[in-house]
Amino acid sequence: MRKGTVFVFLSAVLFATGGLFFKKCGWNAMAISSARSIIAGAFILVVMLATKHKFKINPAVIAAAVSISVTNNLFALANKLTTAGNTIVLQFSMPAFVIIIMAILFKKKPTTLELVTCFAVLAGIICFFIDSLTAGNMLGNVLALISGVSYACFFIFNSREDSEPFTAVLLSYALTALIGLPWLLRTNIAATPVNELLCVAALGLVQQGLAQICFSVGIKNTPPVAASLISGVEPILNPVLVAIFYGEKLTWLSLVGAAIVLVSVLVFNVLTAGKKREEEKNQEQEISNE
């Protein structure tokens, strides 16, 4: 796989560790969201200053920042209002929204490979969580679905030529931290067990900070549709990691769904990489002929 897709894949793996740490922390979801954003934002800021990475503010950066902040907060709220299965399935309808938005706003028609892979990924995710899909709370389901739209917007805005993912992520953390601050201020941090505090720190440093660095590096060199499809491994790995480390059982249908997603993403990237190499080879041939 190309460098960009590798980094996007690594970010999905790191994002997927969220379930491990969330299960060990008894705080309110919005309090956790605020705390991890403060930690992750400080981490990203230190990295940017240490590497002398330039800050960049423009409409695309602001739009990307608002998109991921909306996604994070809607995801936290949806988890409280509907089932975890509903939330993750509805949010990861995101690849379909990327294709729809790109087609409507940017007149970019999806390729046959992108469409087939998108449907395969969605089918795999639904198989994985089929046992959890219930009516749930309609408001929670709606919020989860909207978070899928905002997540798609994040991928699209961050892949623009005038985007700057690091600045966008930093701004999103500031906004998310501010929104969740009222819940964080009501939390008795002093009485929180050390292991729970370590989980919050891990959420900020690993599950968000390091993950966003990998994503920011990868998204600049990966088309939005491809990046969104690769990120489809996150909702699969999240419960798989929980099952491995906490002993939660997975059904055979869940394993089938996980296999569908992973194989679909792998095949998509292999075929895309092959096509890219062929195009580069043809370009080199044309240049040599001239």
Domain ranges of the chain: 3-289
The amino acid at 284: E
Confidence of residue 253 (pLDDT cuts 50, 70, 90): confident
Averaged over 276-290, what is the pLDDT? 68
Averaged over 58-83, what is the pLDDT? 85
**pLDDT at position 277:** 65
> With 80 as the cut, is the pLDDT of residue 177 above it?
yes
Phi, psi of 109 (to 5 degrees): -75, 135
Averaged over 114-119, what is the pLDDT? 83
**pLDDT at position 172:** 94
Lowest average pLDDT, out of 99-113, 121-135, 136-150, goes to: 121-135
> With 60 as the cut, is the pLDDT of residue 134 above it?
no
> With 70 as the cut, is the pLDDT of residue 51 above it?
yes
Averaged over 25-30, what is the pLDDT? 85
Q: What percent of the chain has pLDDT over 90?
A: 25
Averaged over 3-15, what is the pLDDT? 86
b/e map 109-127, b = 16+ CB within 10 Å: ebeebbeebbebbbebbbb
Question: In this structure, what token pair is assigned to residue 159?
Answer: 């892949």
**pLDDT at position 200:** 93
Averaged over 256-282, what is the pLDDT? 72
Cβ(66)–Cβ(149) below 8 Å: no
**Matching residue, tokens 């043809």:** 282
Q: Which residue has the higher pLDDT, 161 or 79?
A: 161
Confidence of residue 69 (pLDDT cuts 50, 70, 90): very high
pLDDT tens, position by position, 89-114: 677 777 778 888 888 887 888 888 88
**Angle at CA 281, nearest 5°, toward 275 and 283?**
105
> With 60 as the cut, is the pLDDT of residue 166 above it?
yes
C-alpha 143/C-alpha 74 separation (Å) is: 6
Confidence of residue 193 (pLDDT cuts 50, 70, 90): very high
Q: What percent of the chain has pLDDT over 70?
A: 82
C-alpha 110/C-alpha 103 separation (Å) is: 7
C-alpha 136/C-alpha 92 separation (Å) is: 17
> With 80 as the cut, is the pLDDT of residue 195 above it?
yes
